[in-house]
Amino acid sequence: MLARFAPWRGALYLTAVLLSAAFMLPFVFAVGTSFKPPSLLHVHPPLLFPPLSQAQPENYWRVFNFPGIPFATFYANTLIITLSATLGGVLTATASAYGFARFRWPGRDLFFTVLLATLVLPEEVVIIPKFLMFHLIPDWLFGQTWINTWRPLIIPSWFGGGAFAVFLLRQFFLQIPRDLDEAAVIDGANSWDILWSIIAPLSKPALATVAVFTFLGHWNDFIHPLIYLNSTDKFPLSVGLRWLTQQPTDPIEPRENLLMAASMLMITPAILLFFSLQRYFVRGIVMSGIKG
């Protein structure tokens, strides 16, 4: 029986490889362009990779020295914003999901339904009210609004972590037997001990999945920094790359190679994070939807 279906399986694998190559072609072209000299950017037919003798790996260093573009500052800003928001999102989403999964309290199902309803609410609907809210919130330390600060990009993540993260973690927590909780209570553990000593260690796949989604969401976020920030020294990479395209252009030397080098530098941490957590990521996605 298996031998009978072997040719079909081989055809499926071949199709998957061909489709993967087709989808990877723009990425491969971007990598090749990041090493090209300006003279090879607009040749016809276009080159996927430059000849080895003409490759310019120094394009990656030129990005950090581009006039008027503090790329290193953009990189540092993005790391601070993303890591702070990811930490807050994972911690608070874990606590929220634990409350929905393990405790019975009045209105729990209603609040969870309202939480899930926010998933279908377009961001465009709430972006203006959120801007007005952050503009009116006083900073008790400095007497200023939150506009042109990182607070609107970080602090909301410390209040629940997002509906999708809470839902994903809750579904995973429901699969963990309650017998473990009861045994821990007999040993004198309280609710926080159960969460951080039993539930969280057993939920590494789901936590890794939430961490990856949260990290990528903040790392690639463009619209919110664009709205809340107006100082160049506070820009993350997403806005910084746009800033690079808007700088005065030298008519003699194009800069597409530098843009591709900057793009590669931007996506490298996201790729490394995904592949380092890929095993947990796949398990978290698969296992979180087993039980409702």
pLDDT in tens, 42-56: 888 888 888 888 888
Mean pLDDT of 159-173: 91
Mean pLDDT of 116-133: 89
Return the number of other C-beta atoms located less than 10 Å from residue 85's C-beta.
24
pLDDT reading at 184 higher than 70: yes
Question: Would the CA dihedral through 218, 173, 110, 137 be positive or negative?
Answer: negative
What was the pLDDT predicted at 155? 92
Please give the single-letter amino acid code of residue 54.
Q
Percent of the chain with pLDDT over 70: 89
Are 157 and 210 in contact by the 8 Å Cβ rule? The answer is no
pTM to 2 decimals?
A: 0.85
Burial classification of residue 173, based on how many CB atoms lie within 10 Å of its CB (0-12 exposed, 13-18 middle, 19 or more buried):
buried
Domain boundaries defined on the chain: 2-63, 69-287
pLDDT reading at 260 higher than 50: yes
What was the pLDDT predicted at 281? 64
67 vs 4, residue with greater confidence: 67
pLDDT reading at 31 higher than 60: yes
Tokens 């042109």, located at residue: 148
What was the pLDDT predicted at 167? 93
Tell me the C-alpha distance between 285 and 280, whole Å: 9
Architecture of domain 69-287: Orthogonal Bundle (1.10)
Question: Would the CA dihedral through 158, 164, 165, 170 be positive or negative?
Answer: positive
Q: For residue 94, name the pLDDT band (cuts at 50, 70, 90).
A: very high
Average pLDDT, the chain: 85
Are 230 and 131 in contact by the 8 Å Cβ rule? The answer is no
Tell me the C-alpha distance between 283 and 53, whole Å: 44
What was the pLDDT predicted at 44? 82
Judged by average pLDDT, the poorest of 92-106, 141-155, 224-238 is: 141-155
Return the number of other C-beta atoms located less than 10 Å from residue 185's C-beta.
13
Alpha carbon distance, N-terminus to C-terminus of the chain: 36
Please give the single-letter amino acid code of residue 171.
Q
pLDDT reading at 256 higher than 50: yes
Q: For residue 250, name the pLDDT band (cuts at 50, 70, 90).
A: low
What was the pLDDT predicted at 254? 74
Tell me the C-alpha distance between 282 and 82, whole Å: 22
